[in-house]
Amino acid sequence: MRLNVINPNTTRGMTDTIAAAARRIAAPDTHVMATQPAHGPVSIESHFDEAISAVGVLEEVANGDREGADAHVIACFGDPGLLAAREVTRAPVIGIAEAAFHMATLISTRFSVVTTLGRTGIIAEHLLEQYGFRHHCRRVRAAEIPVLDLEDDGDAALKRIIEECRRARDEDGIGAIVLGCGGMADLTDEIAEAVGLPVVEGVTAAVKLAEALVGLGLGTSKHGDLAFPRPKAFVGRFEHLSGTTK
């Protein structure tokens, strides 16, 4: 199968990190295409960043479909543009937050999320409510590190993440930890060893869920609200999207 893994921000180093994690976990017959938008924020740390990045995500889904992608992964923990992306393709589209929450509930009755900044933790809390996982999550914690510190000051960032994960283990009464950022995709093994709990990371979880859906022959439903959007004209900077939906 061909799997389109989309980093919704425009930082190439993070795309490479995400791609390496996806390829390491993917089945031998899965070809991972790692992409990022040509335009948008260098990191995603707010509702504003998510809104801007969503258009780039949709363009990368369309590009992936043209290249024969069997499924798509949105590799940002805010799952920006997830439902819109599902509208514009028949292929499965997996957001890494939703994937990680699902996986965590299969191995523990309670988990905590450890993310980057406190404000993005609030976004994670919104998603827990939206997806129906709030009662499984004991706490959303922030290491209070900017996303790009994962690229620019990796050792210090890892230390702070491990410290917060240990606090979650000792204080939250949990069985597993969910890492709340796609930029943490290469840190799972080190954190799990340091903390002594199962650690669920969304990129790798999404890859395996995407493979499962494709293997089952399941694609995005085109009935109801996920049907293709009605074709219409767009103007201005979005004129290139006119008539592109089915």
Tens-place pLDDT, residues 230-240: 999 999 988 88
DSSP-based three-state secondary structure for 40 = coil
137-142, strands of its sheet edge to edge: 137-142, 111-115, 176-179, 199-201
What's phi and psi for 95, nearest 5 deg?
A: -90, 145
Rounded distance between C-alpha atoms, residue 239 and residue 233, angstroms: 7
Question: In the prediction, which pLDDT does 203 show?
Answer: 98
**Domains of the chain and CATH, by start:** 2-95+205-241 (3.40.50.12500), 97-202 (3.40.50.12500)
35: β partners? 6
Average pLDDT over residues 71-77: 98
What one-character DSSP code corresponds to residue 26?
S
Whether the per-residue pLDDT at 246 is higher than 70: the answer is no
Tens-place pLDDT, residues 116-148: 999 999 999 999 999 999 999 999 999 999 888
Question: In the prediction, which pLDDT does 245 show?
Answer: 62
Question: In the prediction, which pLDDT does 117 show?
Answer: 93
Whether the per-residue pLDDT at 228 is higher than 80: the answer is yes
Question: In the prediction, which pLDDT does 148 show?
Answer: 86
Whether the per-residue pLDDT at 72 is higher than 90: the answer is yes
Read off the pTM. Answer: 0.95
Mean pLDDT for the chain?
95
Amino acid at site 180: G
DSSP-based three-state secondary structure for 228 = coil
